[in-house]
Amino acid sequence: MTPREANLYDEGTDDIVGADRRFARPGDGARYPLFMSAQPTQPADVEALRRRVAHHLYQRLAFASFAIWTLGTLILFILFAAGSPRPIFPAMLSMTLPLIPAFLIWVSYRPLVHWQVARRLRAGSSAGPS
């Protein structure tokens, strides 16, 4: 126990003395905080922000992927498979080819998450503490 910690306790009653009442003294001698800080630590804020940004971006990219595949399939199917006497191969291509551009937007997922998190952190730090 440091001298500062020793000054916090009344030796006869084991009660905390003085204005510093952040720690209790359990029987095993360990120190546990009685309350949590009102402001979370910076890494927890960054991680929560990253999760929010990733979730939001995931929803947008999923919808864009859906729209690309659906519209691409529809257009290609109308152009190549609808009028064909043997539509199996053109229909297969009509449904497979739009997967390429629908997948390619996912290549940018991680860089977009990092970029948006950094941008929001810069915007938050320039606004200053509230």
Return d(Cα 22, Cα 8) in angstroms, integer: 10
Percent of the chain with pLDDT over 90: 58
- Residue pair 25/14 in contact (Cβ under 8 Å)? The answer is yes
pLDDT digits (tens, 9 = 90+) for 73-103: 999 999 999 999 999 999 999 999 999 999 9
Return d(Cα 81, Cα 77) in angstroms, integer: 5
Q: What pLDDT does residue 125 have?
A: 80
The pLDDT of residue 29 is above 60:
no
Return d(Cα 81, Cα 89) in angstroms, integer: 8
- Kindly list the distances between the CA atom of residue 31 and the CA atoms of 13, 20, 22, 27, 87, in Å, as whole numbers in the listed order: 17, 13, 9, 10, 74
Average pLDDT over every residue of 109-119: 96
pLDDT digits (tens, 9 = 90+) for 96-105: 999 999 999 9
